[in-house]
Every structure is written in C-alpha cells, then in structure tokens.
Amino acid sequence: MAWLISLPLTVAALLFAITAQAAELKVLSGNGAKPAVVELTRRFERETGHKVTVEFAVNPEVRRRIEAGEAFDAAVLNPPILDDLIGKGHIVRGTRSVIGRIGLGAAVRTGAAKPDISTVDGFKQALRSAGTIAYPGEGASGIYFVSLLDRLGMAAEIKPKLRPMPAETTVEVVAAGEVDMVVVVASRMHGVPGIDIIGQIPRELQTWIGFTAGVGSAARQPDVARAYVSYLTQPAAADVLKPIGIEPGVE
C-alpha cells in the first residue's frame, strides 16, 4: 500500500476502503478525452484491481444515451453537457470534478509537409493549401471550427474542401491518406499512428474544450465510481494529462 502515500488523502481513503473486493464499472466518455481516459483507467485498474469498461462517443451522443436511461456508473463529458445532466438529475451534483482543458489542433499524414500554423495568417494559408480537411461532423470542436471559418471570412472558400467525419474516424482518415489535413480537439490526435501533429491553432483563434467527470445518479457501484472520478482528477493525473497537451484542473 505504499503507493497510497503519494495520492491525495481523500482519494487514498476511498481506494483503500473499496479495494478489498473487485468491482466492475461502466463509464461513458466523450471522444476528446479518450487518450487520457484510456491511460488513467488502465492505471486505476492496475492499482485497485477493479475492472472498468469505457465506451466512447461524441458528447451529444453520450448525452442522448444517458437521457434515454442507459445504465452507467460514471461519465466524462464537456462541462456544459455534464452540467446539463446534473441539472436533469442524471449525474450526482456533488461529484462534479474537473479533469482539464485543451484547444483545437491540426495534423497531416506522416511524411507530408507540415505547415506553420502558429499565426493567424499561417493557419489560414494552411487551410487554403490543403486539398481536403477533415473535422468532427458532430461535437463541440467541429461546431466551433465551422463557426471559426465564418469568422475568418473563409467559409465559402473552404467549404468545398471540408469533410465532416464520424468521431471514430476523424483523424484516422488522414492517416489512411483519404484526407489531407484534420482540425480537431488536439487530444484526439494523440497516439494515432500514421499522422504528424502540426500543433494547436493560434491562441487568438482558440477555443477551449473542457473535460469534466461525475458519478451517475443510478450508479451500481457509487463508491467505486467516486474513487474512479477522484483518480481522474487527482494532482498525480497531470503526469498523463500534460504530455497530451491537456491543462490539468482548468475548464
């Protein structure tokens, strides 16, 4: 139990109290947080002996499933959607916890020229130079990207190049060479083989996609679910979040 010393007291106490008997959790999560949730879940399972099944989808789809009555123990979602579910009684209000936030980024296929998108003009030129551009057809980052094109006065010019994609293939189509470039929440690109990450879009154009977690009101394993949510948001989680580009503890 030496590893418990490094955890915040509240997390350590929860874990200590519930590790005697292994439990199974079902977690519903938005796609943007996937690389962080996958790694932190793996560590939670290893350290506690509990089994966690995580199902990923775009945030609006997760909300629809929860509102339709699907059973789950915990959820990881963008703050507005989690807060809406708290207001409707699907998530326990007192369990709302902030994981972190990240902005939009861009990537190209491995080996392709990587444009400089560190400035507004550079980003605009990259969009003009790309033959086709993938983005999430549904979800916060895709909605924002489309609105950003309008804000930049480029909507009509870039529209023929746009390829709205399902969440599960938004980045992968670039790796497969089917699309030249992708613009998506930056964490979604992390760890995907076959792409080169260009970086995040200029700060003055940026939006922040937050990740929050909470326990389901009808959780079958509420104590274990609380421990899981605490594990995702403890200070030590920064070791996983920061390399992905997620700013821990900030919405």
Are residues 155 and 224 part of one domain?
Answer: no
Q: Please state the domain count of the chain.
A: 2
Are residues 189 and 124 part of one domain?
Answer: yes
- Whole-number Å distance between alpha carbons of 190 and 245: 9
Are residues 127 and 34 part of one domain?
Answer: no
Are residues 121 and 85 part of one domain?
Answer: no
Are residues 96 and 43 part of one domain?
Answer: yes
Q: Is the pLDDT reported for residue 4 higher than 60?
A: no
Are residues 149 and 29 part of one domain?
Answer: no
Write down the pTM of the prediction.
0.84
Are residues 200 and 164 part of one domain?
Answer: yes
The model's pLDDT over 74-121, given as tens digits with 9 standing for 90+, comes to 999 999 999 999 999 999 999 999 999 999 999 999 999 999 999 999
Residue 230, domain extent: 2-101+210-248
The model's pLDDT over 125-160, given as tens digits with 9 standing for 90+, comes to 999 999 999 999 987 889 999 999 999 999 999 999
Are residues 149 and 198 part of one domain?
Answer: yes
What is the DSSP annotation of 44-108? HHHHH--EEEEEEE-HHHHHHHHHTT---SEEEE-HHHHHHHHHTTSB-GGG-EEEEEE-EEEEE
In this predicted structure, what is the pLDDT of residue 123? 98
In this predicted structure, what is the pLDDT of residue 7? 44
Q: What CATH number is associated with residue 142? A: 3.40.190.10
